[in-house]
Amino acid sequence: MHDVEAHARRGLADRVAIPAGTFWMGTNEPGFPDDGEGPRRRVRLDRFWIDRHAVTNLRFHTFVQETGFVTDAERFGWSFVFASFLPPGVPVGPSPAATPWWRKTMGADWRHPFGPGSSLEGRWDHPVVHVSWNDARAFAQWASGALPTEAQWEYAARGGVDGRVFPWGDALEQDGVHRANVWQGVFPTMNSGEDGFVGTAPVDAYEPNGFGLCNVVGNVWEWCFDAFETVHDGRPASNPRIDAPHGTRVMKGGSYLCHDSYCNRYRLAARTHGEVEDGTGHVGFRVAYPATS
């Protein structure tokens, strides 16, 4: 328990004030056409607050302790774990045909990120994973906030500077310095861990962006509120928010599994999506709050 208390004292739940402003959202550069990254468009946002870090295992633990919340993965009894993280003998089911490196792992959930027998020891300051959009939304409501819209997420992640591929510039590495936790090596067979981590990293592992947000690129995908659409109005917009009763939801930021040879969606304009009940070992979230909170 001393480990938990030590991380609690680090205060990894602080918020950052994001000023009102207008920015260029998306990109016209070649990326993944099916993802709807463009067109590049002007978006105006009111002032809001957002978590400096992705929600940690510790914060989620506190939420569950206080509410008794049960995640979707716990209800289903399984979640997808990256194959190289599986301990010997863990029962697994079939893999998706398009992504065979994911294994349907019985007993995997946020408390047991690699399946039965795994735990959160030494990982309290890592982002919580195996959380669905439903789970993330429930936590956000408990925290008196909401999941950020895609526009809020991208504006905050850009750190006050438009036009960059990453928060720090256009090169993934600057002078050989790693600025994010992404796949190093040959995906999916060899990760050298040259950036310091194989799997998730602590939520404050790298230098923050211009607004003070940490790890907006790499580490874990982050759920956004918005329903996923690929056709966007190129005209200027104010506080866009896309809701829908059905369909998938947006995720931003990429993860520790992203690599240029397969999925370079760790770019700020990049995006993907997931079903509201899905949660895997590389998906987390952070919370946004109204300016009055």
Report the share of the chain in percent with pLDDT over 90: 86
Count CA atoms closer than 13 A to 71's CA, side-chain side: 30
State the pLDDT confidence band at 253, using cuts at 50, 70 and 90.
very high
Higher-scoring residue by pLDDT: 232, 31: 232
- What average pLDDT does range 110-136 have in this prediction? 97
Residue 48 has pLDDT above 90, yes or no: yes
Q: If we measure between CA atoms, which residue out of 122, 112, 111 comes closest to residue 90?
A: 112
Enclosing H/E stretch for 284 = strand 283-284
> CA angle at residue 256 from 255 to 262, to 5 degrees?
80
| Alpha carbon distance 109, 281 (integer Å) | 8
- What average pLDDT does range 84-99 have in this prediction? 90
- What average pLDDT does range 211-225 have in this prediction? 98
Residue 10 has pLDDT above 50, yes or no: no
| Alpha carbon distance 125, 54 (integer Å) | 10
| Alpha carbon distance 109, 128 (integer Å) | 10
Residue 130 has pLDDT above 90, yes or no: yes
CA distances to 94, 104, 213, 256 from 98, rounded to whole Å, are 12, 14, 33, 19
* Dihedral, CA of residue 79, residue 83, residue 84 and residue 85, to nearest 10: 10
Domains and CATH numbers, the chain: 2-290 (3.90.1580.10)
| Alpha carbon distance 12, 61 (integer Å) | 13
The mean predicted confidence, pLDDT, of the chain is 93
Beta strands in 68-220 (DSSP E): 78-82, 102-106, 173-174, 177-178, 185-186, 190-191
SS (H, E, C) 39-70: CCEEEEECCEEEECCCCEHHHHHHHHHHHCCC
CA distances to 20, 149, 290 from 167, rounded to whole Å, are 18, 18, 23
| Alpha carbon distance 190, 167 (integer Å) | 27
State the pLDDT confidence band at 103, using cuts at 50, 70 and 90.
very high
At residue 1, the pLDDT reads: 45
* Dihedral, CA of residue 99, residue 232, residue 144 and residue 201, to nearest 10: 40
At residue 8, the pLDDT reads: 47
Contact 110, 252 (CB under 8 A): no
State the pLDDT confidence band at 175, using cuts at 50, 70 and 90.
confident
Residue 7 has pLDDT above 80, yes or no: no
Give the tens place of pLDDT for each residue, 62-81.
999 999 999 999 999 999 99
- What average pLDDT does range 245-264 have in this prediction? 93
| Alpha carbon distance 152, 184 (integer Å) | 29
State the pLDDT confidence band at 88, using cuts at 50, 70 and 90.
confident
CA distances to 81, 116, 118 from 91, rounded to whole Å, are 11, 9, 13
At residue 11, the pLDDT reads: 47
At residue 91, the pLDDT reads: 86
- What average pLDDT does range 94-114 have in this prediction? 95
State the pLDDT confidence band at 83, using cuts at 50, 70 and 90.
very high
Report the share of the chain in percent with pLDDT over 70: 95
State the pLDDT confidence band at 154, using cuts at 50, 70 and 90.
very high
Exposed, middle or buried, 5 (CB in 10 Å: 0-12/13-18/19+)?
exposed
At residue 90, the pLDDT reads: 87
